């Protein structure tokens, strides 16, 4: 037995870029992370909910009154699960449906026995909503089509629709339809959701869920505008942002409408509809006249009376939304950034609301920023720039300007609208060809370990599916991405802000996620699976839970593996940085494992004769937590060790493992 013993010392992270021979870090790994510069297995995950209707394209999570609410948007709507604050035990999904005027009605069952013909002026029957009128065509005694002629108000997307037989000929039964599209919301396979939560003290007085169903999944530069939606947090309905009602008194032939109280949200440019109001009417001005709040419209009323009018700020954007408390911001095409009045999602015309174009390219992401004396503040990413917005009221003459827009850089980039995250006040994101940070200035984030691995293997056609989460317990930022020709995320790269190193999941099953939320009140990440499960649905996984993959009653081991760099350098042999190194093989005779370990592990001695040769792995040497030493007689000219844990409940955290290494055969070439 050799008397030369060395400590296994390898730099943290997994070196995917460059060659194995040149690496000072580990050269391969799967489902492994680094703490105190040493490898350890990443935690397990449980299938908490197996009933998500579609692939999640955006999530948010928040706690209230001892319960945790997980909200997921997919191509056909929004679903909510309610759990405890510990282990994702709860119920769901509960559908959260947009409310509005009907645009189209789908047919679930055509029924039978109806009288053939075309029937106009037919009212639909639903659980909510009023005023929707349709034309029904019956052919071959089946309901063939239902065409909306008047959309009505307050209908819920996906609501069940029936029609009285008496309205379509007096015979037949069995027709069932559903509210397919609203004028303010339409399901789309290209939907990528952005969510936030904010308090609307002047509107509905609730904490509100705000969601924007952007049509951006295929193209980050898509210019299609869609309506942001909001509603009470933990509720089941959403309505368009900027739409509200008020009771006003109109006079036939006059363009003025009076109100019993001051309504600050009624301002110039707001659309108005209601009885006696011509189509296309807008508000020209609103002010107090002789003590009465009076709005002047763009058209004269066609009848007199007092009734409910609907006002619409027509907030529709392509980018998304973000809360900079107490302001809601919406952003999109041509650098558009708009915000409501303080604490009032209905008011987009008051003095502190604003609309500005800060760039020639689309704004795709916004996040709150610490602003100090200029709070609230936010950071906004356009396709080629980064802009800071701060609250800075300034009076010039008789005008007060509330917001300041600062261009941080006009030569930047962003890979996807979901790839930006804030970690302890610093923002991290991926550009189209590098990694970037913002901490007062935009800087490149150094990545010498897997920069090429990411950009060379990313399915660029699916770039908008790249998304980011974090695991603060371990100091990690995870970017999930579609690797190779995959059309969904199947890999992720991880930056450890504490260890200042990079690694990846090794295309492990746990990286097949489409969206997620990180620990806040609820202490574990919840990430959404992107593969159909055995129930024909999709799974919400609770990560960092145990060490296994738990799905229903199946408890499966999770393979975790890490492989060292070439170890000849540790003994002054081939690969030594101190030139010249002895041109002899590296012989290993004993490993003294030092692990915090659960379950059996194995180590494989591998290596090659030349840097570009084929690996020659040994049979695995199995060791248990109580194994003191592993004896062997193995030699390779360029020798590496691969440690693997792949047993149920298996876990490990490597310490200072000792190796009995010495010079092997004098031959410099040839296979061992």
- How do residues 12-36 score in pLDDT, each as one tens digit? 999 999 999 999 999 999 999 999 9
Contact, 17 vs 450, CB < 8 A? Answer: yes
Alpha helices per DSSP H over 397-483: 451-457
Residue 491 has pLDDT above 80, yes or no: yes
At 598 the pLDDT is 98
What is the residue-averaged pLDDT of the chain? Answer: 94
Tell me the sheet residues that pair with 63: 68
- The three-state (H, E, C) secondary structure of 596-618, written as one string: EEECCEEEEEEEECCCCCCCCCC
pLDDT tens sequence across 457-471: 999 999 999 999 999
Q: For position 672, what pLDDT does the model report?
A: 44
- Residue 206: per-residue pLDDT: 77
Coil vs helix vs strand at 293: strand
- Quick one: average pLDDT of 559-580? 73
DSSP string, 510-527: GG-EEEEE--SSS-S-EE
Tell me the mean pLDDT in the region 403-415. Answer: 96
Question: CB neighbours of 579 closer than 8 A, spacing ≥ 6?
Answer: none
pLDDT digits (tens, 9 = 90+) for 100-141: 999 999 999 999 999 999 999 999 999 999 999 999 999 999
22 vs 205: which has the higher pLDDT: 22
Q: What are phi and psi of 570, to 5 degrees?
A: -70, -20
At residue 191 the predicted structure's pLDDT band, cuts being 50, 70 and 90, is very high
Residue 274: is its pLDDT beyond 50?
Answer: yes
* Model confidence pLDDT, tens digit, residues 312-351: 999 999 999 999 999 999 999 999 999 999 999 999 999 9
Three-state DSSP at 9 gives: coil
Per-residue pLDDT for 546 more than 90? yes
What tokens appear for 392 in the block? 């800075």
pLDDT (mean) for 141-149: 97
* Distance from C-alpha of 379 to C-alpha of 236, rounded to nearest angstrom: 31
Provide mean pLDDT across the span 220-241: 96
Q: Are 85 and 521 in contact (CB under 8 A)?
A: yes
| pLDDT beyond 90 at 411 | yes
Q: Specify the CATH class of 5-43+560-663 in words.
A: mainly beta
- Of the chain, the percentage scoring pLDDT greater than 90 comes to 88
pLDDT at 222 over 60: yes
Can you give the residue ranges of every domain in the chain? 5-43+560-663, 102-182, 184-237+316-412, 243-312
Residue 458 is predicted with a pLDDT of: 98
What is the average per-residue pLDDT within 69-95?
A: 95
Which of 150, 174, 154, 179 minimizes the C-alpha distance to 163? 174
pTM for the predicted model, two decimal places = 0.95
Residue reference for tokens 């309504």? 263
Contact present, 381 and 366 (Cβ < 8 Å): yes
Q: Which of the 8 DSSP states describes residue 500?
A: T
| Model confidence at 578: pLDDT above 80 | no
What is the Cβ-side half-sphere exposure of residue 517, based on CA atoms within 13 angstroms?
Answer: 24
* Tokens read off for 483: 């690797």
Nearest to 310 by CA among 343, 282, 352: 282
């Amino acid at each position: 037995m050799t008397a030369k013993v060395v400590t296994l010392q390898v730099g943290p992270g997994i070196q995917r870029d460059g060659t194995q021979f040149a690496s000072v870090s580990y050269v391969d790994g799967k489902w492994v992370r680094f703490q105190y510069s040493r490898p350890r297995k990443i935690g397990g995950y449980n299938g908490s909910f197996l009933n998500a209707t579609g692939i999640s394209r955006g999530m948010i999570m928040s706690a209230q009154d001892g319960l945790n609410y997980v909200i997921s948007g997919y191509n056909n709507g929004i679903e909510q699960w309610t759990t405890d604050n510990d282990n994702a035990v709860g119920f769901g999904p509960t559908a959260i449906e947009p409310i509005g005027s009907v645009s189209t009605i789908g047919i679930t069952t055509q029924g039978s026995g109806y009288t053939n013909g075309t029937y106009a002026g037919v009212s639909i029957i639903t659980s909510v909503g009023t005023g929707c009128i349709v034309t029904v065509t019956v052919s071959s005694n089946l309901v063939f089509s239902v065409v909306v002629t008047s959309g009505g108000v307050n209908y819920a997307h996906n609501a069940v629709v029936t029609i009285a037989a008496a309205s379509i000929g007096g015979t037949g039964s069995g027709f069932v339809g559903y509210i397919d599209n609203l004028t303010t919301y339409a399901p789309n396979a290209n939907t990528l959701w952005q969510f936030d939560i904010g308090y609307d003290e002047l509107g509905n007085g609730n904490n509100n869920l705000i969601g924007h169903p952007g049509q951006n999944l295929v193209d980050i530069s898509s210019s299609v505008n869609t309506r942001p939606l909001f509603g009470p947090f933990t509720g089941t309905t959403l309505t368009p942002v900027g739409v509200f009602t008020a009771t006003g008194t109109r006079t036939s032939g006059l363009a003025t409408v009076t109100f019993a109280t001051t309504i600050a949200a009624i301002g110039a440019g707001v659309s108005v509809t209601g009885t006696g109001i011509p189509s296309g009417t807008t508000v020209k001005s609103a002010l107090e006249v002789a003590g009465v709040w009076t709005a002047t419209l763009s058209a004269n009323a066609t009848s007199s009376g007092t009734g409910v009018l609907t006002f619409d700020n027509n907030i529709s954007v392509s980018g998304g939304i973000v809360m900079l408390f107490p302001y809601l911001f919406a952003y999109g095409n041509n650098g558009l950034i708009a915000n409501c009045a303080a604490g009032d999602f209905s008011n987009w015309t008051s003095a502190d609301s604003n609309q500005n174009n800060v760039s020639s390219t689309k704004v795709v992401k916004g996040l709150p920023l610490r602003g100090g004396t200029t709070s609230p503040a936010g950071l906004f990413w356009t396709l080629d720039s980064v802009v800071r917005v701060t609250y800075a009221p300034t009076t010039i003459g008789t005008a007060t300007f509330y917001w300041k827009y600062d261009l941080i850089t006009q030569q930047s980039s962003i890979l996807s609208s979901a790839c930006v995250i804030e970690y302890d006040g610093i923002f991290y994101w991926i550009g189209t060809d590098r990694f970037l940070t913002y901490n007062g200035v935009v800087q490149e984030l150094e990545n010498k370990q897997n920069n090429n691995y990411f950009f060379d293997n990313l399915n660029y056609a699916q770039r908008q599916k790249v998304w980011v989460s974090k695991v603060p317990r371990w100091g990690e930022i995870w970017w999930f991405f579609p690797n190779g020709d995959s059309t969904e995320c199947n890999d992720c790269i991880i930056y450890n802000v504490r260890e200042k190193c990079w690694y990846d999941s090794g295309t492990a099953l746990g990286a097949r996620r489409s969206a997620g939320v990180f620990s806040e009140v609820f202490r574990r990440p919840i990430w959404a699976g992107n593969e159909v499960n055995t129930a024909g649905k999709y799974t919400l996984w609770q990560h960092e839970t145990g060490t296994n993959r738990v799905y229903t009653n199946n408890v499966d081991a999770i393979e975790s593996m890490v492989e060292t760099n070439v170890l000849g350098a540790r003994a002054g042999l081939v690969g030594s940085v101190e030139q010249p190194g002895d041109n002899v093989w590296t012989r290993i005779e004993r490993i003294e494992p030092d692990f915090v370990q659960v379950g059996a592990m194995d180590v494989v001695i591998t290596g090659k004769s030349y840097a570009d040769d084929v690996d020659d792995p040994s049979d695995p040497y199995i060791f248990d937590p109580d194994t003191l030493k592993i004896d062997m007689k193995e030699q390779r000219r360029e020798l590496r060790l691969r440690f693997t844990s792949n047993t149920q409940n298996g876990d490990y955290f490597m310490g200072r493992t000792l190796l009995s290494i010495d010079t092997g055969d004098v031959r410099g070439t040839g296979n061992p």
